[in-house]
């Protein structure tokens, strides 16, 4: 049995604290798959293009749940199915992901097909993020914290 010693941080710098949560090659890809591909189940994440292995995926899901970015719930219909949902904290990673997308589309050899999501967001203007986050809230949190338009 291992005791989790209460998370001692390398520093209190905001950049550093963010990197301690998602500063690796896989965590944000899981969040991306939830946001843009609608994935909710282990096997779906496992099938992503980048080819994450199952032990790494299990580790990342657990860490993201512990960090409060995701929640894990059992599907009431299928006792073995775990459903992962974004929390508000996770949904608010979208602006970061959107900026990474913008940067890569400018400077890296992105696949034109995969770039379309980001391009569409750019064309939508400044409140694209808020609209997309609102949609994610409806899907992952429940619909109750929206003001009527």
Partner DNA sequence: CGCAATCGATTGCAAAACACAATCACTTGT
Partner DNA sequence: ACAAGTGATTGTGTTTTGCAATCGATTGCG
Of a second copy, DNA, none, which one does residue 16 interact with (CB within 5 to 8 Å by kind)?
a second copy
Site for DNA in 33-62 (CB under 7 A): 41-43, 51-56, 58-59, 61-62
**Closer CB to DNA, residue 16 or residue 146?**
16
Please state the φ and ψ torsions of residue 74, each to the nearest 5 degrees: -80, 140
**Closer CB to DNA, residue 2 or residue 106?**
2
Tokens of 61: 């899901």
Q: Which residues bind a second copy (CB under 8 A)?
A: 9-21, 23-25, 28-29, 32, 49-51, 68, 89, 92-93, 95-97, 99-111, 114-115, 118, 126
**Closer CB to a second copy, residue 18 or residue 74?**
18
Site for DNA in 84-143 (CB under 7 A): none
CA R_g for the chain: 16
Cβ-based neighbour number of residue 63 at 10 Å: 17
DSSP state of 70: E
User: Cα–Cα distance between 144 and 88 in angstroms, integer?
Assistant: 13
Please, are residues 102 and 56 in contact by the beta-carbon 8 Å criterion? no
């Amino acid at each position: 049995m291992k005791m989790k010693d209460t998370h001692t941080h390398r520093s209190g710098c905001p950049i550093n604290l963010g990197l301690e949560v998602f500063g690796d090659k896989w965590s944000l890809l899981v969040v991306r798959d939830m946001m843009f591909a609608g994935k909710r189940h282990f096997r779906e994440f496992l099938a992503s293009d980048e080819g994450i292995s199952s032990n790494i995926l299990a580790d990342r899901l657990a860490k993201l749940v512990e960090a409060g970015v995701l929640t894990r719930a059992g599907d009431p219909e299928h006792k073995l199915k775990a459903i992962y949902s974004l929390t508000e904290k996770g949904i608010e990673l979208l602006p970061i992901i959107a900026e990474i997308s913008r940067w890569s589309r400018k400077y890296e050899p992105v696949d034109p097909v995969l770039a379309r999501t980001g391009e569409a967001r750019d064309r939508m203007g400044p409140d694209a993020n808020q609209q997309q986050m609102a949609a994610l809230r409806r899907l992952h949190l429940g619909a109750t914290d929206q003001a009527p338009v």
